[in-house]
Amino acid sequence: MPREPRTADIVAEMAASVLKIPVGPGDRLAVGDTVVLLESMKMEIPVLTETAGTVTAVKVAEGDAVQEGDVLVSLEL
């Protein structure tokens, strides 16, 4: 029986604007890589991955407003 791929979603931890997205589908990420750069109250906040994996989808675009809990990037582990 084939094993189902394990996935993980990286979510916003606060309301912010998406400033930059340095990753795209197919990119391999290591623990601690920046997946999205958010801006809130004139501060830049990097969103880091806590697990290694491959980007399967980027769910936001630069300039988007996100809320706490919104999915930013999906990974296959």
pLDDT per residue over 15-63, tens digit each? 999 999 999 999 999 999 999 999 999 999 999 999 999 999 999 999 9
- pLDDT score at 1: 64
pLDDT at residue 4, as a whole number? 74
* Band of pLDDT at residue 5, cut at 50, 70 and 90: confident
Of 55, 67, 51, the C-alpha closest to 21 is: 55
CA distance 4 to 13: 28
The string of DSSP letters for 4-66 reads PPPEEEEE-SSSEEEEE----TT-EE-TT-EEEEEEETTEEEEEE-SS-EEEEEE---TT-EE
